[in-house]
Amino acid sequence: MQTDLQVELKQTRPFRSPIEEAFVALQRTAAVLEHAMETELKASGVTGTQYNVLRILRGAGDEGLCRNEVGQRMVRRVPDVTRLLDRLEDTGLIARARGGEDRRYVTTRITARGLDTLAALDEVTARFLARHMGLLAADQVHTLIELLSILRRTQA
């Protein structure tokens, strides 16, 4: 008998092990949810990656962060943080300023326009999470968080 994942992927052969199926299920679930979130964000003109940067910079407050710190805090690593920040600066969602003594140090901060955009996206995100993650009971959410944490710790 085929599993739900095998049917979804139109896979006729069984997985080699439950661990392999769990890994593929994790990847598939992340991809499906990421695509759904990108679709929700599309109307705002902000991508999921840009949304992540805006959230990071809002959390940094008035102090802002340098490019490397932004890159380290991102959920999904990107190869060219500078270009990503360039695009956000071009749209007026962030601003960058060179440091006083060390001119190489550039601090990135979210702008008022970026904060307004993010506030509107907070509502979109809340609806998205209620629709997609709200299917799980509170204890299931806590278990999921713990299990995913265990998997990430093995990579640290």
Q: Which tens digits make up the pLDDT trace of 90-102? A: 999 999 998 767 6
Q: What angle do CA 27, 151, 77 make, to 5 degrees?
A: 60
pLDDT at 104: 72
Query: For 46-99, how does the pLDDT look when each residue is reduced to its tens digit (9 = 90+)?
Result: 999 999 999 999 999 999 999 999 999 999 888 899 999 999 999 999 999 987
pLDDT at 124: 94
Whether this prediction's pTM lies above 0.85 is answered by yes
Residue type, 96: R
Burial class of 87 by CB neighbour count within 10 A (0 to 12, 13 to 18, 19+): middle
Of 1-5, 27-31, 118-122, the poorest mean pLDDT is in 1-5
pLDDT at 103: 64
Domain ranges of the chain: 4-9+17-153
Q: Which two tokens stand for residue 14?
A: 């069984």
Residue type, 132: H
Fold of 4-9+17-153: Arc Repressor Mutant, subunit A (1.10.10)
